[in-house]
Amino acid sequence: MTMNLYLLRHGKTQGKPALNGHIDVAVDESIQSSIAHALLKHYSFHKVYSSPLIRCQRVAELVTELKPALKLVIEPRLKEQNFGDFDGVPFDELTHEWKRLEQFWANPAQNTLPNAEPLQQGYARVVEAWEQIIQHCEQDTLIVAHGGPIRYILAHILGLDWQNPQLYTTLAIGNQSITHIQINKFEEQTFFSIKSIGTPLIEK
């Protein structure tokens, strides 16, 4: 049995640049609509999983409104990392904390931000959700998520060190891009094949 899983990173969020984690920031509705139409035009899938954050859930809802036969599952464990006291705060308001931010970017696994979710905890919850999705996957599926969780899933599949800072600073997963993973189930085994990473869906 062969199935395709399409991991969509949400569109560019509104507002000033910031570490947007658990904060519920929106994507412009016209962009969400364009993403939904492009998904259904270029990809075929029968089930949709989504993070509950509005930047993901809204586009998942639009897709299922356009194609009511699709089943939508909201999966809280697919949320982005929680960045604690810095979550959603514009960078231009954090100039006094720049040294701490630079330490975090240089080694996020070892430099947890104030009151933030440790990287290990975020990785573990996303991988747990991914394993459950794979276990029940029987058809082509769309997963609407965030840059961090998509990187966690790729690290898990490829056996990479999820603590490696380059996974977050060098591996580009752009907004409204598709990462295509194919799975083959044979008896009790599951085999993975990564077909593409961060392929742009539509013009930004």
**Tokens for 28?**
């412009």
What's the pTM? Answer: 0.96
Q: What is the pLDDT of residues 24-55, one digit of tens each?
A: 999 999 999 999 999 999 999 999 999 999 99
- Please report the domains of the chain, with CATH numbers, ordered by start residue: 2-200 (3.40.50.1240)
pLDDT exceeds 50 at position 196: yes
Q: What is the pLDDT of residues 113-170, one digit of tens each?
A: 999 999 999 999 999 999 999 999 999 999 999 999 999 999 999 999 999 999 999 9
pLDDT of residue 203: 54
Separation between Cα atoms, residue 55 and residue 66, nearest integer Å: 18
Q: Which residues contact 182 (CB under 8 A, 6 or more apart)?
A: 2, 3, 4, 5, 192, 193, 194, 195
Question: 204 falls in which pLDDT band (50, 70, 90)?
Answer: very low
